[in-house]
Amino acid sequence: MGADQGFYGPSTLTWQLTRERVLLVGGPRALLLQLAHPLVAAGVTEYSNFASDPFTRLRRTLDATLAMVYGTKAQAQAAAAKINSVHDHVHGTLPETAGRFPAGTPYDATDPELLLWVHATLVDTTFEVFGRYVRRLTPDELEQAYEESKIAAKLLRVPEEILPPDMKSFRTYFDGMISSDAIAVAPFQRALAKDILYPSIRFVPKPALWPTVAVTASLLPPKVRKAYGLGQNFVERQIAGWSHRLVRAILPVAPGVIRDMPQARRAEIRVREGRV
């Protein structure tokens, strides 16, 4: 009896994209994009200890994503169910006006439109970071990877009927959201962004984090970067550019144990050995 390859498996492009550890560079970008939607940010503010541990949400999302991609079907469903159960209890009202949303606007983490936006930020961030740090995907690869991303979206309760049907439609949706007044940053969101960009790290003074902030800023759409008050001077642009070129030069000769996500390596062994 063969191994349970889960909802994806070695033949999918998603296995190859998600295995790259360098995708972690995009974590802060994905978070900032999510929080640029005021109703998502309101839920994070009220229902998490974001100020003291801004990366709990990111770790939870990363763990669930890796389980859904590299786990068995049971593991993938359990990971999705854990995320969904958290969302079931997240609802409230917006603390202050942001964009088209006046203060007091109700929010609910199970709102399909919010679920779609969070999903879209993860998909777009994967494509953006992989394209800059590993290699540019071909149009056919982008189409395939986007189609495969719908599996995770459905596990996380994004209704099929609102998912953009193809990559062109996804790009139209994402760019439309970015340019719309649904994406707007109020003071409470800037405070959240500060916790992401300048987390408290023992023995690391916050000013020393400016190169990582420069990289994150370079990955954001201009409107969102400006909304968070992130500039890009000449030195910051050079730092970001050098980070792309350096990683691209190193990755081809980096050993797999450094380059790959450990979950991907374990999944490959499980499938190769035929273990469930």
Between CA 13 and CA 16 the distance in angstroms is 5
CA proximity to 95, closest of 173, 189, 172, 230 = 189
Q: What percent of the chain has pLDDT over 70?
A: 97
Instruction: Tell me if 123 is assigned to some domain.
Output: yes
Which pLDDT score is estimated for 199? 86
The range of the structural domain enclosing residue 105 comes to 13-269
The pair of structure tokens assigned to 132 is: 């800059």
Which pLDDT score is estimated for 178? 98
CA proximity to 27, closest of 267, 229, 261, 265 = 261
Instruction: Tell me if 4 is assigned to some domain.
Output: no
Instruction: Tell me if 129 is assigned to some domain.
Output: yes
Instruction: Tell me if 110 is assigned to some domain.
Output: yes
Which pLDDT score is estimated for 124? 98
Instruction: Tell me if 256 is assigned to some domain.
Output: yes
Q: What percent of the chain has pLDDT over 90?
A: 83
Instruction: Tell me if 275 is assigned to some domain.
Output: no
Instruction: Tell me if 2 is assigned to some domain.
Output: no
pLDDT score of 78 more than 90: yes
Between CA 59 and CA 173 the distance in angstroms is 26
Which pLDDT score is estimated for 146? 98
Mean pLDDT of the region 181-196: 95
* pLDDT bracket for residue 258 (50, 70, 90): very high
Between CA 229 and CA 7 the distance in angstroms is 40
Q: Among the listed ranges 12-16, 26-30, 60-64, 121-125, which one has the minimum average pLDDT value? A: 60-64
* pLDDT bracket for residue 2 (50, 70, 90): low
The pair of structure tokens assigned to 19 is: 């295995």
* pLDDT bracket for residue 200 (50, 70, 90): confident
Spatial contact of 261 and 18, defined as CB atoms under 8 Å apart:
yes
Instruction: Tell me if 97 is assigned to some domain.
Output: yes
pLDDT score of 66 more than 60: yes
Between CA 243 and CA 246 the distance in angstroms is 5
State how many domains the chain has.
Answer: 1
Which pLDDT score is estimated for 51? 67
Q: What share of the chain is helix, strand, coil (3-state, %, to 5)?
A: 65, 5, 30
Q: Among the listed ranges 68-82, 131-145, 187-201, which one has the minimum average pLDDT value? A: 187-201
Mean pLDDT of the region 7-29: 96
Between CA 133 and CA 158 the distance in angstroms is 29
- What are the Cα distances from residue 175, in Å, to 127, 254, 258? 14, 34, 34
Residues in the chain: 276
Name the average pLDDT for the chain. Answer: 93
